[in-house]
């Protein structure tokens, strides 16, 4: 499964919405409750630890930004 597919699946499980046809650079418009839940889900899905000091709200803007952030966390 690609990074984009994993992200879409993870976000869908949190929001209960279908992101199948959402482009990687399309705005997601996630609310703060979904963002908090998503942090935990992403840590579990990608076996990473997200440092709150590195976390910016723009990380959740698009799947593309989220993917780049996750790749950075994995590389550390």
**What residues have CB less than 8 Å from 44, skipping those under 6 apart?**
none
Domains of the chain: 3-75 (1.10.1200.10)
Q: What are phi and psi of 67, to 5 degrees?
A: -60, -45
pLDDT band at 20 (very low <50, low <70, confident <90, very high): very high
Alpha carbon distance 20, 11 (integer Å) = 11
pTM above 0.95, yes or no: no
Contact at 8 Å (CB) between 3 and 70?
Answer: yes
Alpha carbon distance 76, 74 (integer Å) = 6
Q: Which pLDDT score, from 0 to 100, does residue 53 have? A: 82
pLDDT tens per residue, range 34-67 = 999 999 999 999 999 998 887 787 889 999 999 9
Q: What is the mean pLDDT of residues 2-24?
A: 97
């Amino acid at each position: 499964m690609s990074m984009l597919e994993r992200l879409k699946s993870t976000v869908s499980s949190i929001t209960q919405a279908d992101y199948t046809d959402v482009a990687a650079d399309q705005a997601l418009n996630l609310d703060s409750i979904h963002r908090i839940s998503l942090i935990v889900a992403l840590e579990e899905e990608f076996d990473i630890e997200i440092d709150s000091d590195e976390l910016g709200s723009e990380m959740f803007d698009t799947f593309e930004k989220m993917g780049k952030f996750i790749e950075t966390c994995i590389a550390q």
